[in-house]
């Protein structure tokens, strides 16, 4: 498959795919003349990267896990790259005006911290995923109904998770410097479980369609 087809199937933008490739996260494509061809190995790697990112792993951590021989080349861990909305548009292929509309609908949410860019690679991935779903033929209004349910469920999960953290964990942390790490660990755990639950539920619901499609 070509680079655009691979990006579409993986649910990311071509620019993000090329970014992964430039960092050595993807094996070199097979060349047919002057055309780069990708296969299942590349798709499997992109899905593995997406899974690790859903667990809250940084790109450096992912490189260290998937390409340990290159970990030393990357140098010390760097702070999370903070992006502006224009950057998200460039990397996802979604126009800024559309991103603003999605943000107003709650689909895209800027980070709450002030100062610097208020977006990161997770916003790029989310925007690319929405573009993939809508581009596949799903009417946006119908998609928005599903997204609204997901947003409400997410807000409830987040509210309850923070309440439990504040009640049972926060007060037992003696060193204030450890609070950010504890918070990040909680966020990774909650988002991993939420992604796992949705993935299993979607697979269960789509199983009858796969059976109808045959082998």
pLDDT of residue 85: 92
Long-range contacts of 159-168 (CB under 8 A, 24+ apart): 161/186, 161/190
**Burial category of 13 from C-beta neighbours within 10 Å (exposed 0-12, middle 13-18, buried 19 and up):** buried
Q: How far, in Å, are 44, 75, 112 from residue 60 at the CA level? A: 19, 9, 23
Q: What is the mean pLDDT of residues 40-63?
A: 83
Helix pair 96-104, 121-135: axis angle to 10 deg: 90
Averaged pLDDT for residues 105-109 = 92
Alpha carbon of residue 175 to chain centroid:
31
Which residues of the chain are in CATH 1.10.1660.10 domains? 3-74, 79-138
- Segment 61-71 mean pLDDT: 71
Q: What's the average model confidence in pLDDT over 155-159?
A: 94
Torsion angle, alpha carbons of 17, 18, 24, 28, to 10? 100
Q: Is the pLDDT of residue 181 over 90?
A: no
- Say if CB 83 and CB 57 are below 8 A apart: no
Which CATH code is given to the segment(s) 3-74? 1.10.1660.10
Lowest mean pLDDT: which of 70-74, 81-85, 174-178, 202-206?
Answer: 70-74
Cα 164 from Cα 193, distance rounded (Å): 15
Q: Alpha-carbon distance 19 to 159, whole Å?
A: 34
Cross-strand pairs, 31? 36
Q: Please, which pLDDT band fits residue 21 given cuts at 50, 70 and 90?
A: confident
- d(CA 64, CA 66) in angstroms, rounded, equals 6
Whole-number average pLDDT of the chain: 84
Task: State how beta strands 30-32 and 35-37 pair.
Answer: antiparallel
Q: 79-138 adopts what CATH topology?
A: Multidrug-efflux Transporter Regulator; Chain: A; Domain 2 (1.10.1660)
Quick one: pLDDT at residue 116?
Answer: 64
Distances in whole angstroms, Cα of residue 160 to Cα of each of 14, 128, 157, 183, 192: 37, 29, 5, 14, 16
Least confident of 54-58, 106-110, 133-137: 54-58
Confidence of residue 75 (pLDDT cuts 50, 70, 90): very low
**What band does 114 get if pLDDT is binned at 50, 70 and 90?**
low
Measured between alpha carbons, how far is 36 from 53 in angstroms, rounded to an integer?
A: 26
Higher-confidence position of 176 and 33 = 176
């Amino acid at each position: 498959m070509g680079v655009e087809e691979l990006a579409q199937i993986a649910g990311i933008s071509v620019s993000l795919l090329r970014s992964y490739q430039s960092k050595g996260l993807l094996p070199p494509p097979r060349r047919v003349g002057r055309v780069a061809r990708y296969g299942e190995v590349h798709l499997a790697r992109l899905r593995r990267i997406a899974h690790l990112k859903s667990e809250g792993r940084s790109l450096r951590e992912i490189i260290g896990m998937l390409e340990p021989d290159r970990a030393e080349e990357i140098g010390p861990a760097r702070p999370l790259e903070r992006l502006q909305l224009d950057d998200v548009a460039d990397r996802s292929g979604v126009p800024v005006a559309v991103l603003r509309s999605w943000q107003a609908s709650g689909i895209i949410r800027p980070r709450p911290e002030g100062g610097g860019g208020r977006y990161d690679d997770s916003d790029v991935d989310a925007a690319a995923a929405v573009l993939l779903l809508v581009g596949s033929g799903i009417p946006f209004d119908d998609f928005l109904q599903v997204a609204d349910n997901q947003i409400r469920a997410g807000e409830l999960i987040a509210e309850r998770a923070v309440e439990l953290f504040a009640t049972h964990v926060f007060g037992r942390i003696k060193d204030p410097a450890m609070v950010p790490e504890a918070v990040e660990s909680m966020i990774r755990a909650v988002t991993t479980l939420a992604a796992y639950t949705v993935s299993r539920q979607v697979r269960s619901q789509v199983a009858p369609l796969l059976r109808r499609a045959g082998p």
